[in-house]
A and B are shown apart, each in its own frame.
Chain A
Amino acid sequence: MAKEEEVEIVRIVTDEEKTFAKNFNINDLPDIPTGLPPHLELQRTRVVCKNDAPIHTSSVVYSGAYNAVGVDNSVKLENFSENFKVNVISSSEDGMDMEFDMIGINAAIANAFRRILLAELPSMAIEKVFVANNTSLVQDEVLAQRLGLVPIAADPRLFDYISESDQPNEKNTIVFKLHARCERGEPRLKVLTEELIWLPNGSEMVKESGESTSSKPKTFTSFSRSQDSFPEFAENPISPSNLDILIAKLGPGQEIELEAHAVKGIGKTHAKWSPVGTAWYRMLPEVILLKEFEGKEAENLVKACPVKVFDIEDMGKGRKRATVAQPRKCTLCRECLREEFGVPIVKPKVKPVKDEGKDKETQIERKEWIDNVALHRVKNHFIFKIESTGSLPPEVLFTEAVKILEDKCERVIADLS
């Protein structure tokens, strides 16, 4: 036994190997991993939507998350500047809706923009309503609440905030009056927002108490000059942004007479001050076919998608292939991943006659689809949509939102220094 152990193991080294070893330098290797392995890259950059639930939904934020594989996960400002892109996709004809792509930004920051747009951007809204006469069915407080929600087309940057102790003046208040009356014998009258008439000289309601001796009677506002005289409003008078919003309906003999004071505020205090109807984003959908879908199967796949993501490509010689034509349209309904495709979710009362063979065939086909249609969402590509209520165009709202986030940072820095 002992003898056998001493058997010398002679390793034969060829000349080729020797020269290789001599010249070997690890840095010369062409396939030194320079990035993440593909499966980690997928987890990092994509949300993968399986047919029961999405996976890899969180973003990896820690800078050292991939240190073990030699990849730096931190976002440097230079990298960010290089990779960040904005594409404007569309803007509505009236310029109040806008859709754009933001590429190369993290959800934490995109979400900050969205939250600021909704809750921290100022706009003007009716805050005080002085009711002189209201014989309509709508109670004063309900009427006031409805008036508050009427969006007003006035640039909030031209106004100041009003505080509890402030006198309402031309820099912080917009005054509207509304006088509508339905005469007897007339049909019912709809009171629309077009009846809100801007009073550039301030309130016309005279305060009852304290007979003033001056030439100007005391009203609920103290304007030192007319808002008409501001160059911004001389050309385009202030009005509600939509003139066809129903405020109340009046029966014969009913009347509403009131004055409404709009002031500046933010959506955090009350949603009526939110300058956007909505502002939202979604991640870019990405649809990948992992095998060739041909012939009948391709047609089935096209049919399976309710939003027409897929299309058929003619390859010549009568061969047809499914392609991903409009991945942006994908709503992630996962209809293409459903095992029981074609079976209605609400079962029909009359049981259809089943063709067993065909059914089985589609079932097998469907099971294959689950593995071969990949639905992803790109984590750093945001499709942002802003719907302005009319005070400012959406592109201005967005830049203002970014500015507010900047101000917040500045404030923190100032606090800490």
Chain B
Amino acid sequence: MEHGSFTNNSHASFTLAEEDHTLANAVRFMLNQDPRVTLAGYSIPHPSLDRVNIRVQTTGDPAREVLKDACQELMLMNRHVRSVFDKAVAEFKVEQARLKAEEEEREKAKEELKKQREQLESMDIEGN
């Protein structure tokens, strides 16, 4: 919901229902990153109310559009975070599997060596 004036749409407050610091702080950060914004802030009017108020003042662009852009930007950022994270996890898993295989191979080689040694020893005894 938007609370603004009819004559000047570059200054406005917005009420987001069922949101809290989680979104509001992230959006405030995104708004502050926008050069068109002169002031951005948020408040929770009362701890028992399930909503936040976000204030946006801009250099002239409609505040509503600027807020929308901030959300859009945040969304794209998240999308990027997700793709990078998924890739990193996949890489980690491949690496982990590789290490495990290597470890197993080493164990196998060790066992082989042990077997050979035992065989050699038993042969010695026979010889004696």
The interface of chain A, by Cβ under 8 A from chain B, is 61-64, 72, 74-75, 77, 80-81, 84-88, 91, 100, 102, 105-106, 108-109, 111-112, 115-116, 119-120, 395, 398-399, 402-403, 405-406, 408-410, 412-413, 415-417
* Residues 6-51 (chain B) with a chain A CB within 8 angstroms: 14, 16, 19-23, 25-29, 32-35, 37
Check A413 against B92 for contact (C-beta < 8 Å).
no
Check A108 against B25 for contact (C-beta < 8 Å).
yes
* Residues 88-126 (chain B) with a chain A CB within 8 angstroms: 88-89, 91-92, 96
- Of the residues A77, A109, A403, contact of B82 by C-beta under 8 Å: A403
A208 nearest CB across to chain B (Å) = 39
Check A62 against B32 for contact (C-beta < 8 Å).
yes
Check A108 against B28 for contact (C-beta < 8 Å).
yes
Check B22 against A120 for contact (C-beta < 8 Å).
yes
Check B85 against A408 for contact (C-beta < 8 Å).
no
A3 nearest CB across to chain B (Å) = 59
How far apart sit A119 and B50, CA to CA, in the bound complex (Å)?
14
A75 nearest CB across to chain B (Å) = 5
B86 nearest CB across to chain A (Å) = 6
B76 nearest CB across to chain A (Å) = 6
- Of the residues A74, A403, A413, contact of B34 by C-beta under 8 Å: A74
Nearest residue, chain A, Cβ from B95: A88
A125 nearest CB across to chain B (Å) = 21
Which of chain B's residues have a CB closer than 8 A to the CB of A91?
92, 96
- Could you say which of A87, A111, A413 has the most chain B C-beta atoms within 10 Å of its C-beta? A413
- Of the residues B33, B35, B74, B81, contact of A409 by C-beta under 8 Å: B74
Known: A399-B86, A408-B19, A412-B23. A108 touches B81 (CB 8 A): no
How far apart sit A189 and B22, CA to CA, in the bound complex (Å)?
45
Nearest residue, chain A, Cβ from B82: A402
- Of the residues A81, A86, A116, A409, contact of B71 by C-beta under 8 Å: A409
Which of chain B's residues have a CB closer than 8 A to the CB of A84?
80-81, 84
The interface of chain B, by Cβ under 8 A from chain A, is 1-2, 14, 16, 19-23, 25-29, 32-35, 37, 64, 67-68, 71-82, 84-89, 91-92, 96
Check A88 against B92 for contact (C-beta < 8 Å).
yes
- Of the residues A62, A119, A408, contact of B23 by C-beta under 8 Å: A408
A92 nearest CB across to chain B (Å) = 12
Check B22 against A77 for contact (C-beta < 8 Å).
no
B91 nearest CB across to chain A (Å) = 8
Which of chain A's residues have a CB closer than 8 A to the CB of B78?
109, 402-403, 405-406, 409
Which of chain A's residues have a CB closer than 8 A to the CB of B29?
61, 106, 108-109
Which of chain B's residues have a CB closer than 8 A to the CB of A398?
85
How far apart sit A106 and B19, CA to CA, in the bound complex (Å)?
20
Q: List, sorted by A's number, 29 A–B pairs whose CB atoms are closer than 8 Å.
A: A63-B37, A72-B35, A77-B76, A86-B81, A86-B85, A91-B92, A100-B88, A102-B81, A108-B28, A109-B26, A109-B78, A111-B25, A112-B25, A112-B26, A115-B20, A115-B21, A395-B86, A399-B82, A399-B85, A402-B78, A408-B19, A412-B19, A412-B67, A412-B68, A412-B71, A413-B68, A413-B71, A416-B67, A416-B71
Check A80 against B80 for contact (C-beta < 8 Å).
yes
A93 nearest CB across to chain B (Å) = 11
B64 nearest CB across to chain A (Å) = 6
Which of chain B's residues have a CB closer than 8 A to the CB of A102?
81
Which of chain B's residues have a CB closer than 8 A to the CB of A77?
73, 76-77, 80
Nearest residue, chain A, Cβ from B91: A88
- Of the residues B22, B34, B89, contact of A63 by C-beta under 8 Å: B34
- Of the residues B22, B32, B89, contact of A88 by C-beta under 8 Å: B89
How far apart sit A86 and B88, CA to CA, in the bound complex (Å)?
6
A410 nearest CB across to chain B (Å) = 6
A383 nearest CB across to chain B (Å) = 14
How far apart sit A236 and B12, CA to CA, in the bound complex (Å)?
53
A76 nearest CB across to chain B (Å) = 8
For the A-B complex with A112-B25, A410-B71, A415-B1 known, give 17 more contacts whose Cβ atoms are closer than 8 Å: A63-B32, A63-B34, A74-B35, A85-B84, A86-B88, A102-B81, A108-B29, A109-B29, A395-B85, A395-B89, A405-B26, A406-B78, A408-B19, A409-B23, A409-B27, A410-B75, A413-B75
How far apart sit A75 and B29, CA to CA, in the bound complex (Å)?
10
B19 nearest CB across to chain A (Å) = 7
Which of chain A's residues have a CB closer than 8 A to the CB of B91?
88
Known: A74-B33, A86-B84, A413-B71. A405 touches B76 (CB 8 A): no
Which of chain B's residues have a CB closer than 8 A to the CB of A399?
82, 85-86
Q: Which 4 A-B pairs have the closest CB atoms?
A: A88-B92, A108-B29, A86-B88, A409-B75
